[in-house]
């Protein structure tokens, strides 16, 4: 999973926000609930204490103290209801004290006495040594004779605690469930919202300089994504216009240059053939003709490139053996290498059938080999190799020549690029050979790679898809 993706980040944000809110809400619920329940319990105890005072103690004078205990037992049944009731006289004697509750949840004898000095009502929380907590309401009831009683009514908080822990448990279980549901839902939601982004990205990746006429899909949703895809499409059409303009410019320019070059060449040739010229003039004219020739080559190269860009390479598509073509071409050019004392080894024994424009692919081999010969010093070695691997034919041209500096490597296929301006001009190159190689390869769906170290040696490799049909054994043609 890509943690930097918009989808992941949105869902993560969404989920953590939700978790935060959920936790806060849970804590708040527990706190408020506890407060409410405890207040409620306290008030109930206090009310009961008053009731005892108002109904029983008022009549204590008439009925005698002895009647109180059975009345409390019959009205309130503290043991059966897990309650604690104690009435203490002002002299400290206990008038009534409830016994152990039936469920034995607390020990009433362990509950401390409320101080006799309290005036009015007082509520307290008492923690027993056995860990039970009771809320106890104490009330000072003053009788007619000036004597008073302290009435204490209490109940354990265990029920509240049990309820709160159940609520907490529910919240703790609920949190991950809610989170999972939220993340799942959020993921789907984000995915739906971002689906057009995926489509746009996929399409945008497919658009290269060769299919600039294609456009991105536009989701008619009226949202920001629609605006984005429309803007991107506008950008692509501007790019297309610019590309077309530049291609048309190259085609028109090379076309327009040809006519004056024809005239120049023709006139110079006519003059050069005049037998009365002296040697110097003849040399000058020859030099001019050479430059015209070079200009013509550049124009031709540019024109070839603009045609390849326009996708005209598929005119003569045939199936042929790349190994055989490489071997033949290497043989034809062997004298060029021999002339410089360079040895060429060609390992292309295994047939490799590919599909394409044979003449153009031959030009690729010629250009690469010519380059290798140019930039390998006397006594160097050039290795040509054709291998088949994974449904592809790979052609490698490797030399141990002067190499290409690292910073120049990404640019060697650019038009008119020269690693060393002085060096290659001496060799008469126009700086178009490798761009033509690249363009031809692109037109054939082939990949060109170059590796080199400045210390020496370059290696050009071309990977072409093999033709589907295997060759018939034996030599073609």
Partner 1 sequence: MRILIVEDEKKVADMIARGLKAEGYAVDVALDGQNGWDMANGCEYDLVILDLMLPKLSGREVLQRIRRKNQQVPILILTARDGTDEKVQNFEAGADDYLTKPFAFAELLVRVKALLRRAPVNRSIVLHVGDLEVDRSLQQVRRAGKKIELTAKEYALLEYLATHPGRVFSRTMIIEHVWDQSFEGLTNIVDVYVRHLRGKVDDPFPTKLIRTVRGMGYYLSEEVEA
Return the DSSP state at 408: G
* Alpha-carbon gap, residue 363 to 98, rounded angstroms: 112
Residue 89 tokens read as 């006289």
Under rule CB under 8 A, residue 354 binds partner 1: no
Under rule CB under 8 A, residue 247 binds partner 1: no
CB of 333 to partner 1, least distance (A): 7
Sheet (strand 447-452) strand order: 343-347, 381-389, 392-399, 458-465, 447-452
Under rule CB under 8 A, residue 289 binds partner 1: yes
Under rule CB under 8 A, residue 43 binds partner 1: no
CB of 388 to partner 1, least distance (A): 23
CB of 278 to partner 1, least distance (A): 10
Under rule CB under 8 A, residue 253 binds partner 1: no
Under rule CB under 8 A, residue 327 binds partner 1: no
Residue 370, φ and ψ in degrees, nearest 5: -60, -45
Residue 90, classed as helix, strand or coil, is coil
* Alpha-carbon gap, residue 273 to 404, rounded angstroms: 43
C-beta closer to partner 1: residue 88 or 371: 371
Candidates 38, 300, 327, 465: give the one binding partner 1 (CB under 8 A).
Answer: 300
User: 392-411 burial by CB neighbour count: b if 16+ within 10 A, else e?
Assistant: bbbbbbbbbbbbbeeebbee
Interface characters, 368-397, with partner 1 (x: CB under 8 A): --x---------------------------
Return the DSSP state at 115: P
Q: Which residue has the tokens 């599909």?
A: 355
Under rule CB under 8 A, residue 274 binds partner 1: no
Give residues 148-187 in contact with partner 1 (rule: CB under 8 A): none
Under rule CB under 8 A, residue 293 binds partner 1: yes
As to burial, measured by CB atoms within 10 angstroms (0-12 exposed, 13-18 middle, 19+ buried), residue 300 is middle
Give residues 410-429 in contact with partner 1 (rule: CB under 8 A): 428-429
CB of 457 to partner 1, least distance (A): 22
Residue 181 tokens read as 């549901």
CB of 6 to partner 1, least distance (A): 47
Residue 450, φ and ψ in degrees, nearest 5: -130, 135
CA distances in angstroms from 80 to 76, 83, 131, 214, 444, listed in the order given: 9, 8, 21, 86, 96
Under rule CB under 8 A, residue 316 binds partner 1: yes
CB of 432 to partner 1, least distance (A): 9
Return the DSSP state at 420: S
Give residues in contact with partner 1 (CB under 8 A).
251, 254-256, 258-259, 261-270, 272, 275, 282-283, 285-290, 292-293, 296-297, 300-301, 303, 307, 312, 315-316, 329, 332-333, 335-336, 339, 359-360, 362-363, 365-367, 370, 428-429, 433
């Amino acid at each position: 999973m890509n943690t930097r993706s918009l989808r992941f980040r949105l869902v993560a944000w969404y989920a953590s926000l939700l978790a935060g809110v959920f936790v806060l809400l849970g804590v708040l619920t527990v706190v408020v609930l506890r407060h409410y329940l405890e207040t409620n319990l306290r008030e109930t105890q206090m009310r009961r204490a008053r009731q005892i005072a108002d109904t029983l103690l008022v009549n204590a004078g008439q009925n005698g103290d002895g009647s109180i205990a059975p009345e409390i037992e019959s009205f309130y049944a503290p043991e059966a209801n897990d309650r604690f009731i104690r009435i203490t006289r002002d002299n400290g004697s206990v008038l009534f004290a409830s016994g152990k509750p039936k469920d034995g949840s607390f020990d009433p004898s362990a509950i401390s006495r409320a101080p006799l000095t309290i005036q009015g009502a007082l509520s307290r929380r008492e923690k027993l040594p056995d860990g039970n907590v009771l809320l106890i309401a104490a009330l000072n009831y003053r009788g007619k004779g000036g004597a008073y009683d302290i009435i204490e009514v209490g109940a354990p908080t265990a029920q509240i605690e049990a309820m709160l822990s159940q609520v907490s448990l529910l919240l703790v279980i609920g949190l991950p469930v809610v989170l999972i549901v939220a993340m799942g839902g959020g993921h789907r939601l984000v995915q739906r919202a971002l689906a057009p982004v995926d489509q746009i990205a996929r399409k945008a990746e497919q658009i290269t300089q060769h299919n600039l006429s294609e456009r991105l899909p536009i989701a008619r949703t009226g949202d920001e994504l629609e605006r984005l895809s429309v803007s991107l499409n506008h950008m692509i059409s501007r790019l297309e216009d610019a590309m077309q303009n530049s291609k048309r410019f190259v085609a028109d320019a090379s076309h327009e240059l040809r006519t004056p070059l024809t005239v120049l060449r023709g006139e110079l040739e006519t003059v050069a053939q005049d037998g009365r010229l002296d040697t110097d003039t003849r040399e000058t004219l020859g030099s001019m003709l050479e430059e015209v020739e070079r200009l013509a080559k550049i124009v031709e190269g540019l024109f070839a490139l603009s045609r390849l860009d326009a996708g005209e390479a598929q005119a003569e598509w045939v199936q042929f053996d790349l190994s055989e073509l490489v071997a033949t071409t290497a043989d034809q050019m062997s004298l060029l290498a021999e002339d410089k004392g360079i040895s060429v080894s060609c390992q292309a024994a295994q047939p490799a059938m590919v599909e394409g424009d044979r003449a153009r692919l031959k030009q690729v081999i010629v250009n690469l080999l010519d380059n290798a010969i140019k930039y390998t010093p006397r006594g160097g070695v050039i290795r040509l190799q054709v291998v088949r691997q994974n449904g592809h034919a790979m052609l490698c041209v490797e030399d141990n020549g002067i190499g290409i500096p690292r910073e120049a490597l990404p640019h060697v296929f650019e038009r008119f690029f020269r690693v060393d301006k002085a060096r290659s001009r001496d060799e008469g190159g126009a700086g178009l050979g490798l761009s033509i190689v690249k363009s031809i390869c692109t037109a054939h769906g082939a990949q060109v790679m170059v590796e080199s170290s400045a210390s020496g040696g370059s290696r050009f490799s071309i990977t072409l898809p093999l033709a589907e049909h295997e060759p018939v054994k034996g030599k073609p043609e």
